Structure 1
Amino acid sequence: MHPFFSTLHLTKGDAAALYLQLAKQLTAAITEGILLPATQLPGSRYLAQLLSVHRKTVIRAYDDLLAQGWLESKTGSGTFVAGHLPVIKPEKLGKKIQNTGDPLLIAGFHFEQADHLARKFIKEQTSYHLDDGFPDARLAPLHDLSRAYRTQLIMGNTYHRLGYDDPQGSAWLREQLAAHFSETRGMKVTEDNILITRGTVMGLYLASTALIRPGDNVVAAAPGWTSANNNFLQAGANLLQIAVDEYGINTDELEKICKKKNVRMVYVTSHHHYPSSVSLRVERRIQLLQLSSKYGFIIFEDDYDYDFHYLNKPLSPLASADEAGTVLYCGSFTKTISPAFRVGYLVGSANVIAQLARLRRIVDRQGDTMLDNAMAELLQNGIIQRHLRKSLRVYRQRRDTFCNLLKSELNSYLNFVLPEGGLAVWTTFEPAIDLVKLAKEARKKDLSFSDGKIHRSPFYQLNSTRLGFASSNLDELAQSVDILKRLLTNH
């Protein structure tokens, strides 16, 4: 008998069944060149006695390896390592550098790790949060949504309802969105102009992958949204940034760039720029559309929280005045309901939407048809619209209360401009305040907020961060400000 078999060891009570442990050890010995092709294995009865297990355990391990082609059985002779396997010579120690890392942690092959993708996900567990501008899911029409979702699961033809659907998204939802955009945003589009996505990030990825080639120039604002910038960098674009002022992205600076370089795409949040929440002024909107028509660049309009505008009626999107077909309009229901419900939309010329749908098909075959249709039902029945009106009133009250607290309790430590819309306040702290340290200390006191590092760039170095108010009720906002005040007083 080959000496290897005396080294076998099975652990009773292990998560893996005994026969699987045996099979794994045998295949490892074959792949490492310890057991060569045509090596005879011990009989099942003998090996069972050696390992102190039932004979059926050995037989099952042998049968599995026979079925997989690792072993072969010869009538009257016994069981052998398959003769057709290649001969593997064990490497001598020191002959080459061995990968001694855990293969579950470190791959045995090289791959490029892009710096722009190195963003750690942090799930905050604190009781209080002044977040990036999230909605309050406690206000969401979850009962209506669950009822509509259940209806989609049990009603209608099962084969069609639960089968594959159009990669462009639920036709019903696209029809309802077209009507909703016409009524609320002045956009005259049809279902063919709409692609359903799993959120704005997917829309950005599809547009960047399909429409941007390596070396293309893409212009974005600074400070801006890191996820958007990362999509452009991932596509190989040359990212050019323009500073944002109190009126939005500077279109005069954009024109200077266009005169010197070919610009492929301009990313803009015309309504509540992220992170500062300022809106693009009307003359700049006009100029941006004119520049797009003149120089032939794509405008990617990210309208992530159009519905939450407090001072007057929301400004119409650039897409509503697009006569040249150069605007891609993107948004989602993330701020309407909750980030957990991944339903978004990308709107553009029909031929572009069709092309992006083809790309989406190889990335994510389709979305959640049940959820898409449930959202369509809520739109058709006016439930989403009523929820938005209610949320707007609540969030405006929270904005006013929060800003009053910041002014009365923390005025000597920070400054801000009352946001016309959005779900967060762009706040600049005094230069002497270490935001990174403050954020760490706040977490120890059960309060989380961004330390602002993600917003800094060579174009923007102010000591600023976003403090979201919408996801907290009035009591929670007061507690959050009180924690900040105590920390800053002792700073």
Structure 2
Amino acid sequence: MSSPVLLSLSSFVQLDRNASTPLFIQLAQQIINGIQRGYLTAGAKLPGTRLVGDQLGLHRKTVIAAYDELEAQGWIDIIPNKGTFVLQQSRVKQSIPSTKPPISTTQYPIKTGYDIQISNILDNPFEENRAPYFFSDGTTDIRLTQVRNLSLQYSSSMNRKGSLQRMSQYHENGSIFFKEQLSNYLNLSRGLHISKHNLLITRSSEMSIYIIAKVILKPLDKVIVAELSNFAVNMTLLQAGATLETIPLDKEGISIEALKQKLKTGRIRMLYITPHHHYPTTVTLSAKRRLELLQLANEYGFIIVEDDYDYDFHYEKAAVLPLASADTNGMVIYTGTLGQSLAPAFRTGFVVAPQNLIQEMNKYLGIIDRQGDIIMEQTLGEMIEEGEIHRHLKKSLKVYRERRDHMSDLLQDMLEDYVSFDTPNGGLATWVQFHQIKSLMTIKEKCLKQGLLIPRHTLYQNKQISAMRMGFGHMDNLEMEQSISILKNALASF
């Protein structure tokens, strides 16, 4: 009859002969695991090396090496002429052998053995996409990226004379060279008046908003957002402890009159806006309201966080300059993304603010991303210096404008009976409103059955509105046509 311990070994020891870890180390580690979990109790006699080898299909010398390793680590005691025994030590878990079959040592615990704080606010709103077609909320098409050219740019920046010297200037506040190039680029393209000392470099716009919230907000601070706003930003602000209040918007952007009423009822700490192309409706904040907004910020002392998430994409005329370009009192924090027309790995977020605030935000950045991406910042700096960023953007703008126009034609020709929309003057998405209040989740389900995913976060529905933010940037003409056709079939089935 086989030893009970031998049977126990075969139930939880699983060896991978293709792994780089030697078999004797694998065996030793899994026996240690079995001791810790109570499968092998203190004082238990281990089977002989020949028996273990036969049972597990190992050479006897492999088992001997494993036993020697266990003895060296203090887990077993090898007594000549008596046998090998599990040592009774404080680190060895003492327990009564379980009547349940032992769990494989390769299985990791599903849950912690302790309580954790769970955030329902930060639940992931995004869905896994397995459908052949999908709408986005306005993203670029990675297929348009000239990956080979970007790779060559990345490689050449590493080998260029002076690159190593520039990289040596990197410290916890980011690449000096990149900040100099980016500040010049923003001054020329967006009418700002900043230096490298006014920049915080982040990995993404989400990281920018997170750090801003950590530095600026205290629990219960009142933050104003539009009644239709960026869900991801709202999540971040709520997680920071802010109290969110909303104001309506129309064809000219957020309502200044509604903001004035809010200001009369109590102190406001911050206003979050996307004035260039409002998210999600794509409307542009009018010049008159921009001036009024800056005057109110100066008068009442609230902070304006201006998120210029898609400044690069405008088609009809010159882009409207950001509020930050007219801010003389340090009331506007400006955030955006560089390189949206490039591959995702080449994009980077940034924050523009007065120097004292940048210094405080750098402290938080130093905790979560101290090193940054030295090589990428070097590459982006050189791409700005050599005009590559502008050339990439110019090429992609032509394509995205054609796609915007094609999407507008499709909506007009195929969905005129169901929706209304205005062709956006910029950005990568169209704001589409349904004529009748329909169940958008039902439409979503009908479309998914036909191979079109409409993500939840693109849908906006309440008693007054039934609408969606329909991204077109990521789709070619055929994909747009198929997607709109599926949506039309779903609407017609009601």
With normalisation by structure 2, the TM-score equals 0.86
Matched letter for residue 398 of structure 1: R
Quote the offset at 1:5 in angstroms: 4.1
Is 1:364 the equivalent of 2:376?
no
- Partners in 1 of 2:222 and 2:72 — Cα distance? 56
> 1:408-433 deviations in whole A, cap 9, x for unaligned?
22111111122222111111123354
Counterpart for residue 399 of structure 1: 404
> 1:213-263 deviations in whole A, cap 9, x for unaligned?
222222211211111011111111112222222221222222322332222
Moved more, 128-137 or 102-111: 102-111
Counterpart for residue 471 of structure 2: 468
Given that 2:422 and 2:431 are in contact with CA atoms closer than 8 Å, whether structure 1 keeps it comes out as: yes
Q: Specify the SS of the correspondent of 2:269.
A: strand
Quote the offset at 1:378 in angstroms: 1.7
Counterpart for residue 97 of structure 1: none
Q: Specify the SS of the correspondent of 1:8.
A: helix
Counterpart for residue 153 of structure 2: 148
Quote the offset at 1:349 in angstroms: 1.0
Counterpart for residue 124 of structure 2: 119
Q: Specify the SS of the correspondent of 1:415.
A: strand
Quote the offset at 1:403 in angstroms: 1.1
Is 1:312 the equivalent of 2:317?
yes
Q: 1:70 to 1:89 in 2, by over 3 A?
A: closer
- Partners in 2 of 1:386 and 1:264 — Cα distance? 40
Q: 1:212 to 1:71 in 2, by over 3 A?
A: farther
Given that 2:333 and 2:352 are in contact with CA atoms closer than 8 Å, whether structure 1 keeps it comes out as: yes
Matched letter for residue 36 of structure 2: T
Moved more, 130-139 or 441-450: 441-450
Counterpart for residue 428 of structure 1: 433
- Partners in 1 of 2:474 and 2:218 — Cα distance? 39
Quote the offset at 1:371 in angstroms: 1.8
Match of 2:230 among 225, 241, 265: 225
Counterpart for residue 204 of structure 2: 199
Quote the offset at 1:389 in angstroms: 2.8
Given that 2:225 and 2:244 are in contact with CA atoms closer than 8 Å, whether structure 1 keeps it comes out as: yes
> 1:255-309 deviations in whole A, cap 9, x for unaligned?
3223322222211111101000011112221222222222222211100111222
In the alignment, structure 2 segments of 5+ residues that lack a partner are: 100-106
Quote the offset at 1:488 in angstroms: 2.9
Percent same amino acid among aligned pairs? 37
1:2-41 equivalent positions in 2, closer than 5 A: 3-9=4-10, 10-11=13-14, 19=24, 22-33=27-38, 35-37=40-42, 41=46
Match of 1:137 among 109, 133, 142: 142
Q: 1:92 to 1:126 in 2, by over 3 A?
A: closer
- Partners in 1 of 2:92 and 2:275 — Cα distance? 65
Given that 2:217 and 2:240 are in contact with CA atoms closer than 8 Å, whether structure 1 keeps it comes out as: yes
- Partners in 1 of 2:98 and 2:68 — Cα distance? 34
Quote the offset at 1:46 in angstroms: 5.5
Quote the offset at 1:434 in angstroms: 3.1
Quote the offset at 1:464 in angstroms: 0.8
Is 1:58 the equivalent of 2:63?
yes
Given that 2:131 and 2:451 are in contact with CA atoms closer than 8 Å, whether structure 1 keeps it comes out as: yes
Matched letter for residue 5 of structure 2: F
- Partners in 1 of 2:25 and 2:227 — Cα distance? 56
Match of 1:489 among 471, 489, 492: 492
Is 1:167 the equivalent of 2:168?
no
Matched letter for residue 7 of structure 1: S
Given that 2:134 and 2:452 are in contact with CA atoms closer than 8 Å, whether structure 1 keeps it comes out as: yes
> 1:115-166 deviations in whole A, cap 9, x for unaligned?
2211244343444343211122333343432211011333458976778933
Given that 2:170 and 2:176 are in contact with CA atoms closer than 8 Å, whether structure 1 keeps it comes out as: no
1:65-84 equivalent positions in 2, closer than 5 A: 65-66=70-71, 68-71=73-76, 80-84=85-89
Q: Specify the SS of the correspondent of 1:299.
A: strand
Quote the offset at 1:2 in angstroms: 8.6
Q: 1:238 to 1:28 in 2, by over 3 A?
A: same
Given that 1:199 and 1:334 are in contact with CA atoms closer than 8 Å, whether structure 2 keeps it comes out as: no
Given that 1:185 and 1:320 are in contact with CA atoms closer than 8 Å, whether structure 2 keeps it comes out as: yes
- Partners in 2 of 1:267 and 1:377 — Cα distance? 32
Matched letter for residue 257 of structure 2: D
Counterpart for residue 185 of structure 1: 190
Given that 2:248 and 2:255 are in contact with CA atoms closer than 8 Å, whether structure 1 keeps it comes out as: yes
Q: Specify the SS of the correspondent of 1:196.
A: strand
Q: 1:91 to 1:13 in 2, by over 3 A?
A: closer
Matched letter for residue 4 of structure 1: V
Given that 2:179 and 2:196 are in contact with CA atoms closer than 8 Å, whether structure 1 keeps it comes out as: yes
Given that 1:398 and 1:473 are in contact with CA atoms closer than 8 Å, whether structure 2 keeps it comes out as: yes
Moved more, 189-198 or 393-402: 393-402
Counterpart for residue 377 of structure 1: 382
Given that 1:135 and 1:338 are in contact with CA atoms closer than 8 Å, whether structure 2 keeps it comes out as: no
Moved more, 298-307 or 139-148: 139-148
1:261-272 equivalent positions in 2, closer than 5 A: 261-272=266-277
Is 1:289 the equivalent of 2:294?
yes
Matched letter for residue 473 of structure 1: D
- Partners in 1 of 2:47 and 2:261 — Cα distance? 80
- Partners in 2 of 1:7 and 1:215 — Cα distance? 57
Moved more, 174-183 or 9-18: 9-18
Matched letter for residue 176 of structure 1: Q
With normalisation by structure 1, the TM-score equals 0.87
Q: Specify the SS of the correspondent of 1:403.
A: helix
Q: Specify the SS of the correspondent of 1:115.
A: coil
- Partners in 2 of 1:61 and 1:204 — Cα distance? 53
Quote the offset at 1:170 in angstroms: 2.2
Q: 1:241 to 1:62 in 2, by over 3 A?
A: farther
- Partners in 2 of 1:414 and 1:402 — Cα distance? 13
Quote the offset at 1:172 in angstroms: 2.0
Q: 1:342 to 1:367 in 2, by over 3 A?
A: farther
Q: 1:336 to 1:128 in 2, by over 3 A?
A: same
Q: 1:177 to 1:86 in 2, by over 3 A?
A: closer
- Partners in 1 of 2:169 and 2:93 — Cα distance? 46
Matched letter for residue 417 of structure 2: S
- Partners in 1 of 2:97 and 2:51 — Cα distance? 32
- Partners in 1 of 2:82 and 2:446 — Cα distance? 73
Given that 1:428 and 1:462 are in contact with CA atoms closer than 8 Å, whether structure 2 keeps it comes out as: yes
Across the aligned residues of Structure 1 and Structure 2, the Cα RMSD in angstroms comes to 3.2
